[in-house]
Amino acid sequence: MKNSCFPLAYRKVAYRRALLNCLRPTLALALIALTCASSQPLHAQAPKELHIAAASDLQPVLPTLAAAYEHATGIKIIASFGSSATLSQQIINGDPQDIFLSADYVHPEQLVAANLTTSNIPTPYAHGVLVLWARHDSPAQPLTLNMLTSPKVQKIAIANGEHAPYGLAADKALLNLGLTDKVASKLVVAENIAQTAQFAESGNAQAAIISLTIASSPHFRELGSFVRFPPTTYPEIRQCAVILKSSKNQTAAQDFLNWLTSSAIQQNLTKFGLDPVQ
């Protein structure tokens, strides 16, 4: 059985600020330059804000992209982060959002099936990468996937596979590596991938199975190190988006998705820990 552990620390504003502070200013400037050069058409009555429900793996990514987009268009992005399952359920329950950026295909497809989206096909915008991360002072160091079974490692943070696509990918990776039974008693389950990272960052776990977006951010690179899971060990993490029918800014929302999937932005995604969809 997996252990459940939900410390209050992850809810603190300080953690979210730490993620925001780790963004690369130079990359932001580069993206701004790209967007300004893209000559994207602006609509005469463009909204001042777009509200986006975004998967937790995008916490280190979306603020920089949002800043670049606002600089290019004048439209401010208001983001809400959480597990893909939680966000999709909130949308079903009437949460007012313009766009849903999920960490998978399944949850956007659920909204399509519920007739809540403007398109009958979710739009892929990135591919996710699964990694094992640990602090430099963790007993899991020197870090390898084999350290998951080491007696020195007592707790391994993992996201809830029923709520978070990266958690599901982690479950599959452990199974395909023949590690499920060997590490089952060590697993500490978090609600989403950002909380999973916080467990290991705070020392409540000696290692965490998280997204490359978080592990490759400057803050987490300074604090620890990571190794990738072989991509053949887990299902493709195809991150998809949908625009909500309830949005009053559907045209502007489509403009944002067009920008996000443009070649100028896609070719920079690897700097954020995501693979492009092309």
CA–CA gap between residue 74 and residue 35 (Å, rounded)? 12
Lowest mean pLDDT among 10-14, 152-156, 263-267: 10-14
CATH classification at residue 76: 3.40.190.10
Q: At what angle do helices 62-73 and 250-260 cross, to 10 degrees?
A: 120
In a domain, 18, yes or no: no
Considering the domain boundaries, does residue 105 fall inside one? yes
The answer to whether residue 62 scores a pLDDT higher than 80 is: yes
Q: What is the pLDDT of residues 66-115, one digit of tens each?
A: 999 999 999 999 999 999 999 999 999 999 999 999 999 999 999 999 99
Is residue 82 in some structural domain? yes
**Domain annotation covers residue 10:** no
Q: What is the pLDDT of residues 14-27, one digit of tens each?
A: 434 444 444 444 45
Q: Residues 60, 123: one domain?
A: yes
Confidence check: pLDDT of 45 > 90: no
Is 256 within 8 Å of 41 (Cβ atoms)? no
Query: Based on the domain organization, do 167 and 217 belong to the same domain?
Result: yes
Residue type, 13: V
Residue 160 lies in a domain: yes
Q: What are the tens digits of pLDDT across the range 174-197?
A: 999 999 999 999 999 999 999 999
Co-location of 82 and 213 in the same domain: no
What is the rounded average pLDDT of the residues 27-48?
A: 52
- Domain shared by 198 and 246, yes or no: no
**Higher confidence at residue 72 or residue 46?**
72
**Whether the predicted pLDDT of 61 surpasses 80:** yes
Residue reference for tokens 């280190």: 60
Residue 222: the pLDDT is: 97
Q: How many domains does the chain have?
A: 2
Residues 79 and 175 in one domain: no
Q: Are 116 and 245 in the same domain?
A: yes
* End-to-end CA gap in the chain: 39
At a CB cut-off of 8 Å and minimum separation 6, what does 177 contact?
A: 145, 229, 233
Q: How large a percentage of the chain has pLDDT more than 70?
A: 83
Q: Select from 233, 248, 263 the last residue of a domain.
A: 233
Phi, psi of 161, deg, nearest 5: -65, -15
In this structure, are 66 and 103 located in the same domain? yes
Residue 13 covered by a domain: no
Closest CA to 144 of 155, 154, 131, 157: 131
Q: Are residues 209 and 262 in the same domain?
A: no
**Average pLDDT score over the chain:** 88
Angle at 260 between CA 106 and CA 214, to 5 degrees: 70
pLDDT of residue 47: 75
Residues 153 and 225 in one domain: yes
In which domain, by residue range, is 93 found? 25-31+47-127+237-272
Do 91 and 103 have their domain in common? yes
Pairing between β-strand 3-4 and β-strand 76-82 as defined by DSSP bridges: unpaired
pLDDT of residue 30: 52
Give the per-residue pLDDT at 53: 98
Residue 110 and residue 152 in one domain: no
pLDDT in tens, 234-249: 999 999 999 999 999 9
pLDDT tens-digit profile of 192-237? 999 999 999 999 999 999 999 999 999 999 999 999 999 999 999 9
Q: What is the mean pLDDT of residues 163-168?
A: 96
Asked, as a colleague might, if the bond just before 151 is cis with ω within 30 of 0, I would say no
Q: 117-126: per-residue pLDDT in tens?
A: 999 999 999 9
User: Would you say residue 14 lies in a domain?
Assistant: no
Asked, for residue 175, whether it belongs to a domain, the answer is: yes
The answer to whether residue 46 scores a pLDDT higher than 80 is no
**213 shares its domain with 185:** yes
